[in-house]
């Protein structure tokens, strides 16, 4: 591998914190794993409005894209009132094209969206083809994208299958085939399957929490977390009610994107429960959760990966809109005994949600055999990047499962 290798990470970041947190973990792993290379650089292009609030791996460079927000199924708006989405999309594409032309990365790792938000990467692919030396391109997919029928329909209509065949050198899935078979679910053809490997789940290494002792409840507590906080206040209120009913304290992480109205709703509930506290963010969920009696959470990729890896008793109330991703993941994890799940559709009423949550807590630790859970994601991805920047050949892991760093985890 040549010295001075440059790796560009793309993260569209239109809703929540999941893509940002995963890419920060990946950036840290690459910077560490490629540290023996003199002058190796990693640059993250992100549309997140809160990227500055997270601990940045040493040496990571960040380019901010004009922010957008997801408003529905494949529907987006500019976060700046009055600015058309079409203009924002063109501006984001222009920034990315400029980065590619000026910085000339050796490898581009695209997160989640093969063509970018509303196709914003298509001009980038054209710019890449014009470079004197084209970078290698990797698509990194979390374990589950959305309802398989919806993904197949969308990818067929937008020409994504052709993009997978003609643009990408590798397709890496941050998950396990036995939990969710991406190739089968999304109808990948032989050409796409030949490029695909399952890396295992991406879970950043745990570190001492940045929370001060006074921020933690003094008695055994329930940890409630809803990711970025754009929705889910009802989950935190239900977690608070369950904690009170069980005689436990509560620590609620609102997320930096929670609305003023939802914060006011939560403050009213907190005022009635002196044993509960709220914080804006928990930087290391697994570390804080290790001291909790149990966790109540949404079903985001990062949170469930970290909690399952840490073997923390977890009840999941997944989001069912605008994507089915969280509901599908929570169902898959629950079936394997990694978590307990509360159906958000059947328990949309606050009282029903409270009762269902109490019942789910009672099922935690019910003696289910702990399944294997593959956590090689960061290590396997680093190996792929090193090899592609080096010989430029197909990975020796193509078509096989990763052999190491698999642990047994599940309900304690």
Please enumerate in sequence order all residues whose Cβ is within 8 A of that of 214, keeping only pairs 6 or more positions apart, or say none.
Answer: none
Q: Looking at the domain assignment, is residue 17 inside a domain?
A: yes
| 223 and 359 both lie in a single domain | yes
Residue 296's CATH number: 3.40.50.2000
Q: What Å distances lie between residue 124 and 19, 135, 241, CA to CA?
A: 20, 11, 49
Q: What is the pLDDT of residue 36?
A: 60
| 195 and 98 both lie in a single domain | yes
Q: What is the pLDDT of residue 395?
A: 36
| 313 and 177 both lie in a single domain | no
Name residues of the chain where pLDDT drops below 50.
1-2, 391-412
Q: Looking at the domain assignment, is residue 31 inside a domain?
A: yes
Q: What is the pLDDT of residue 400?
A: 32
Q: Looking at the domain assignment, is residue 274 inside a domain?
A: yes
| 100 and 122 both lie in a single domain | yes
Q: What is the pLDDT of residue 78?
A: 86
Q: Looking at the domain assignment, is residue 208 inside a domain?
A: no
CB 59 within 8 A of CB 100: no
| 217 and 272 both lie in a single domain | yes
| 356 and 403 both lie in a single domain | no
| 330 and 381 both lie in a single domain | no
Q: Looking at the domain assignment, is residue 369 inside a domain?
A: no
| 171 and 274 both lie in a single domain | no
Both tokens assigned to 55: 């601990």
Domain with 272 in it = 213-363
Q: What is the pLDDT of residue 412?
A: 27
Q: Looking at the domain assignment, is residue 67 inside a domain?
A: yes
Q: What is the pLDDT of residue 172?
A: 98
Q: Looking at the domain assignment, is residue 370 inside a domain?
A: no
| 81 and 161 both lie in a single domain | yes
Q: pTM for the whole thing?
A: 0.87
Euclidean distance between CA atoms 310 and 289, whole angstroms? 9
Tell me how many domains the chain contains. 2
Q: What is the pLDDT of residue 243?
A: 94
Q: What is the pLDDT of residue 206?
A: 67
Q: What is the pLDDT of residue 366?
A: 61
Q: What is the pLDDT of residue 393?
A: 35
| 241 and 322 both lie in a single domain | yes
Q: Looking at the domain assignment, is residue 1 inside a domain?
A: no
pLDDT tens digits, one per residue of 33-75: 886 655 689 999 998 888 888 888 999 999 999 988 877 777 7
| 82 and 229 both lie in a single domain | no
Q: What is the pLDDT of residue 152?
A: 97
Dihedral pair phi/psi, residue 391, rounded to 5°: -75, -20
Q: What is the pLDDT of residue 263?
A: 93
Q: What is the pLDDT of residue 373?
A: 85
Our CA dihedral for 236, 240, 242, 246, rounded to 10 degrees, sits at 150
| 90 and 177 both lie in a single domain | yes
Euclidean distance between CA atoms 77 and 84, whole angstroms? 8
């Amino acid at each position: 591998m040549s010295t001075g290798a440059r790796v560009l990470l793309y993260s569209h970041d239109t809703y929540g914190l999941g893509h940002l947190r995963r890419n920060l973990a990946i950036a840290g792993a690459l910077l560490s794993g490629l540290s023996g290379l003199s002058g190796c650089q990693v640059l993250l292009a992100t549309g997140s409005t809160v990227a500055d609030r997270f601990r940045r791996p040493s040496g990571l460079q960040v380019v901010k894209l004009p922010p957008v927000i997801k408003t529905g199924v494949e529907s987006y708006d500019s976060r700046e009132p009055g600015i058309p989405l079409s203009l924002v999309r063109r501006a984001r594409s222009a920034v990315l094209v400029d980065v590619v032309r000026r910085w000339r990365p050796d490898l581009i790792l695209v997160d989640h969206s093969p063509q970018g938000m509303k196709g914003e990467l298509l001009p980038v692919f054209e710019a890449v083809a014009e470079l004197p030396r084209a970078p290698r391109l990797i698509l990194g997919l979390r374990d589950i994208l959305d309802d398989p029928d919806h993904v197949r329909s969308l990818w067929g209509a937008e020409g994504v299958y052709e993009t997978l065949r003609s643009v990408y050198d590798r397709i890496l899935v941050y998950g396990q085939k036995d939990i969710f078979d991406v190739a089968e679910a999304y109808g990948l053809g032989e050409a796409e399957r030949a490029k695909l490997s399952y890396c295992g789940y991406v879970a950043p290494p745990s570190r001492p929490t940045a929370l001060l002792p006074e921020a933690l409840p003094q008695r055994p507590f329930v940890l409630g977390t809803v990711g970025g906080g754009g929705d889910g206040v009802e989950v935190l209120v239900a977690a608070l009610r369950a904690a009170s009913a069980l005689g436990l304290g509560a620590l609620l992480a609102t997320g930096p994107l929670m609305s003023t109205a939802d914060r006011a709703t939560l403050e009213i509930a907190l005022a009635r429960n002196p044993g509960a506290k709220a914080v804006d963010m928990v930087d290391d969920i697994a570390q804080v959760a290790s001291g909790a009696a149990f966790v109540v959470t949404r079903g985001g990729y990062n949170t469930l990966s970290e909690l399952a890896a840490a073997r923390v008793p977890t009840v999941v109330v997944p989001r069912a809109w605008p994507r089915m991703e969280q509901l599908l993941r929570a169902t898959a994890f629950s079936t394997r005994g990694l978590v307990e799940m509360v159906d958000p559709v059947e328990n949309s009423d606050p009282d029903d949600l409270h009762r269902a949550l109490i019942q789910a807590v009672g099922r935690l630790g019910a003696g289910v055999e702990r399944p294997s859970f593959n956590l090689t994601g960061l290590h396997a991805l680093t190996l792929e990047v090193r090899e592609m920047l080096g010989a430029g050949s197909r990975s020796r892991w193509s078509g096989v499962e990763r052999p190491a760093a698999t642990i047994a985890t599940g309900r304690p």
